[in-house]
């Protein structure tokens, strides 16, 4: 599981946000990305929505992540958002079997 430690913690009220552990995104995170992208047309807004859904961080905290740190997070999340569950670019993933 990749971990991104922010250069400077984000403080919101009495809460501090400093470390982001990123696992394979959930369907909820991918859906948040798709809904945001469809409504805003912004890949940045869509990644922020996905990150908030995956981490449980409030959007106000996600908005304060530095752009340079978001680039590292985007490298981890974008392959999943683009439909590549292997996290690698290139060949398409094999189709999933239907649930019986």
- DSSP line for 71-89: HHHHHHHHHHHTT-TTS-S
63-71 long-range Cβ contacts below 8 angstroms, 24+ apart: 64/10, 64/12, 65/6, 65/10, 66/6, 66/7, 66/8, 69/4, 69/6, 69/7, 70/44
Using DSSP's 3-state secondary structure scheme, residue 25 falls into coil
pLDDT, mean of residues 31-50 = 94
What's the pTM? 0.74
pLDDT, mean of residues 62-71 = 91
Tell me if 93 is assigned to some domain: no
Q: Assess whether pLDDT exceeds 60 at residue 92.
A: no
Structural domain for 39, as ranges: 3-81
Tell me if 95 is assigned to some domain: no
Q: Assess whether pLDDT exceeds 60 at residue 100.
A: no
Indicate the pLDDT class of residue 60, thresholds 50, 70 and 90: very high
Tell me if 32 is assigned to some domain: yes
pLDDT, mean of residues 2-29 = 91
- Tell me how many domains the chain contains: 1
Tell me if 62 is assigned to some domain: yes
């Amino acid at each position: 599981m990749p971990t991104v430690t922010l250069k400077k913690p984000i403080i919101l009220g009495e809460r501090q946000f400093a470390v982001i552990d990123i696992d394979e995104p959930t369907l909820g995170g991918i859906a948040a990305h798709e809904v945001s992208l469809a409504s805003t047309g912004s890949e940045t807004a869509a990644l922020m929505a996905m990150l908030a859904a995956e981490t449980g961080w409030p959007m106000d905290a996600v908005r304060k992540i530095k752009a340079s740190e978001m680039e590292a997070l985007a490298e981890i999340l974008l392959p999943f958002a683009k439909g590549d569950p292997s996290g690698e670019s290139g060949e398409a993933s094999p189709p999933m079997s239907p649930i019986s």
